[in-house]
Every structure is written in C-alpha cells, then in structure tokens.
Amino acid sequence: MSRTKRNKLIAAMNAQFAAIGQSASTAMPRATSNLSPAAWEYYVAQHVSALASGRMKKAKTDAIKAGVIPDYEEKPLSPGEYPDLFDGEHVAIKLTVRNPSVSVDHKKLCDYLSGAGVSSELLTSAVEHASRTSRPAHLFTSDLKDDTNGE
C-alpha cells in the first residue's frame, strides 16, 4: 500500500478511537458537576483499554496459531533483535527479546543458608538490610452508574 494510503488508514483509526466517548452515540449524558467530564473520560479510557487488552490477547493467540509470531511462552527466543520476524503484504512484525530478569526466592535462600549453618539472627538482619518496600499498587476501577428508576 502507498505511504499516503497507510497514513490515511492510521489517521482514520486514530479519529475513530478519539471519537469514542465523544460522538453522539457514546457521549457523556448531561451532567451538573464540572468533575463529571474527567470521570467520564477516565471511565471511557479504562473501558476501551480493557477491550483493547482482550483484543490484543486474542490477536496474539490467533497470530501464534497462524505462525505469524512464535509461541514465546512455549519456546522463548534468545535475547536480541529479530527485525524480519514477519514481513507480510500489509504488515511487518519485528521482535526485541530483552534479557531475562533474575528474582530470588527469599524462603529458599534462607532455608539453604540456614541449612549451611548461618544463624537465624544473621539471616533476619541480612534480609532486612537487603530488602526495600516498593510503592503499593493503586488499582482504580470505574463503572457506569444507572438510575434507580430504570431510565
């Protein structure tokens, strides 16, 4: 496809996406609070995000089944760049595999060290010294409310 057609297609998708929650059929009902538009946009964005996440999950499953992308859960690839993973008629897919992270099972480590004769006091002190608390997750959930009178 030509660059012009590609750009028009992307622009059309972006416009359709931007219209969700703004167009006549999906616009916020009349509200009296000046906070309502921000809450409405938050709800719409969260709802569309959930839909997109489900669509992406299905697209990945379908692409793996079709052989467009590898089953990286079943057979992970080595870290590196795979620029020509798929080169189709309208879509090209490239892949970057990052280095895996390392995590430590604290219980296994402490059990191992305890079995090797390290005192429980030293283990407790070492764990306290090496531990840090992360910022707690903040999970906001929004929902559309309906009137109790059934409108």
Per-residue pLDDT tens, the chain, 151 aa: give them.
888 999 999 999 999 999 999 998 999 999 999 999 999 999 999 999 999 999 999 999 999 999 999 999 999 999 999 988 899 999 999 999 999 998 889 899 999 999 999 999 999 999 999 998 888 888 887 787 777 655 5
What is the Cα 116 distance to its own chain's centre?
42
Q: Would you state the pLDDT for residue 91?
A: 92
Q: For residue 122, with 0-12 CB atoms within 10 Å meaning exposed, 13-18 middle and 19 or more buried, which class applies?
A: exposed
Q: Are the C-beta atoms of residues 106 and 127 closer than 8 Å to each other?
A: yes
Instruction: Give residue 143's pLDDT.
Output: 81
- Confidence at residue 139, expressed as pLDDT on a 0 to 100 scale: 82
Q: Are 97 and 78 in contact (CB under 8 A)?
A: yes
Domain ranges of the chain: 1-27+36-66, 102-131
Asked whether 142 and 46 are in contact (CB, 8 A), the reply is: yes
DSSP class of residue 135 equals P
Residue 148 is predicted with a pLDDT of: 65
Torsions phi, psi for 138 (to 5 deg)? -115, 110
